[in-house]
Amino acid sequence: MDLLTPELGLFFWTLIAFLAVFFILRKFAWQPILSSLGDREKGIADSIATAERVKSEMSQLQSENEKLLVQAREERTLMLREAKEMKDRIIGEAKEQAKTEANKIIIDAQQQIIQQKNAALTEVKNEIGLLAVSVAEKIIRKQLSAAEGQETYMKMLAEDIKLN
């Protein structure tokens, strides 16, 4: 049991050594240790505040990014719609122009056909007239070749003149 109970002298000198070390540490080391702990606590608090601020900024940036993404999608949709409308309009204008030109070509062709038809009819009439004159001339020559035919023809002309 002697080992478990310290002697009074050992206890006394241990107490004095402890108090001496305590006062020396209190005088020289306690203040710097507390100030470094305070600085460390302040640094940790500042880091936490900075992290919170960065977190809120990140969430704000994320919401702004989502808004920009939605806006970009809307603009893309609008641009696609405008492009489709422009394509439809250009196709419609091209079709309309093609119809107009086709109608113009058809009208010109019809006019040319009518002109060629009229020219052909005029030519046919002229040919028929020439043939008629030629036939009449041959008939009259044949009839007038005889003296009797000439007299008959003169009488007929005289009667025509009297009627007019």
In this prediction, residue 163 carries a pLDDT of 64
Contact present, 150 and 163 (Cβ < 8 Å):
no
CA angle, residues 106, 109, 113, in degrees to nearest 5: 135
Distances (CA, A) of 89 to 6, 78, 108: 108, 16, 28
In this prediction, residue 31 carries a pLDDT of 86
Low-confidence ranges of the chain (pLDDT < 70): 1-4, 143-147, 149, 163-164
Read off the tokens for 11.
């206890």
Read off the tokens for 58.
């990140």
Which residue's structure tokens are 């809120």?
Answer: 56
In this prediction, residue 164 carries a pLDDT of 56
In this prediction, residue 97 carries a pLDDT of 95
In this prediction, residue 138 carries a pLDDT of 76
In this prediction, residue 154 carries a pLDDT of 74
